[in-house]
Homo-oligomer: A and B are copies of this chain.
Amino acid sequence: MNPRSAGERPFGEDELLAAIRKVLSGSGPGVVIGVGDDAAVVARGGGDGVLTADILVEGVHFDRALSSARDLGFKAIVANVSDVAAMGGSPRYALISLVLSAEIEAPWVMELYGGMLGACEEYGMTLVGGDLSGGPAVVVSVAVTGEVAGNRAVTRSGARSGQRLVVTGTLGGSAGGLALARAPAAKVAEALGSDWGRALLDAHFRPHARVGEGQTLAQLGATAMMDLSDGLALDLSRLCSESVAGARVDLSSVPVAPELRRLAAALEVDPLELALSGGEDYELLAALAPQSVAEASDRLGERFGVPLSDIGEVTDGRGIVAVDAAGGERPLEAKGWDHFAGR
């Protein structure tokens, strides 16, 4: 491990490794042995370890024509950080294994690492190693370790009837940003000149993980939590399934990203639909006691400037019911975002 490489490259493999080694100091808080040995060695705090991994494949999860290498690297880290946040934990270390196809040039790889390092800095993490290979397409494989206070990790399975369902931030922005990025060039150019357009593109290409927010919700007694990576409708169905519970969702309380109204004027999109079924928002969904919601909302607002929305309640039943503003009820379809919808 620790970038070595196999596979033919158009540029010198030694040069690339040397360049990567330069970018990866491998030093950071708690790092005993960083990049360059057989394995990294890190000091460990108290509490339990949190382990997660995600793999991103060109043509499946990202399109190099749409996403800059820097944004791709940033988002690859954020997606993993978000999984740690969803347990109420703190991310600490990242391992990056990369597959590079023959047409990839060294500056692209440096930008990718730049984005990953930027995200590591934002979340107080250190990139301690990984691996490198040639191959038929770009693959970014990330593993992140973190920690959480002993026996305090928040799973998906602890939601109980009568609790409120809360969601951080706003939803649908990432899917809106992707729709915008794929729109005709003139529309994209126009949107880039607007605050709402840039906000949507940022939501997709430079998302945030809710680490402090997750810890705050855990401290305030959240008994179930997960991150919204595949859309509220599908992810809520998973949380309910793991908790053996149902839910009633007030559609008028779902925090639809406000920029989607502007997008809907430019493209044929349904803001509520994007908020329910769009993926990669990386907001947190949690189950809280009713009496804790106001305090949680206050703390998230004060500490992080992030809104918390009460979107409904956990029920005894097994189904998920959506209630519209007029009081009409319908089953909420567990419709998934697959990461390459729209193709």
Contact = CB atoms under 8 A, between A and B. Distances in A.
Interface string A118-134: 00000000001111111
Contacts of A134: 57, 60
Contacts of A146: 39
Interface in A117-164: 128-137, 139, 141, 143, 145-148, 150-151, 153, 155-157
A69 interface: no
B1 A97 contact: no
Contact of A89 (B39, B129, B141): B39
A7 B133 contact: no
A284 to B, nearest CB: 10
A54 B136 contact: no
A1 B60 contact: no
A156 B198 CA distance: 48
Nearest to A51: B40
Interface stretch (A42-50, A185-193, A268-276, A313-321): A42-50
Interface magnitude class on chain A: 35 or more
A40 B52 contact: yes
Interface string A55-74: 11101110000000000000
A131 B147 CA distance: 20
Given A33-B155, A53-B141, A136-B137, 8 more contacts: A37-B157, A39-B87, A41-B48, A41-B49, A49-B145, A51-B93, A53-B97, A131-B141
A44, A137, A242: which has the most chain B beta carbons within 10 Å? A44
Contact of A52 (B7, B95, B148): B95
Q: Tell me which of A38, A96, A151 has the highest count of chain B C-beta atoms within 10 A of its own C-beta.
A: A38
Given A53-B129, A143-B53, A340 B6 contact: yes
A259 interface: no
Contact of A7 (B48, B49, B96, B340): B340
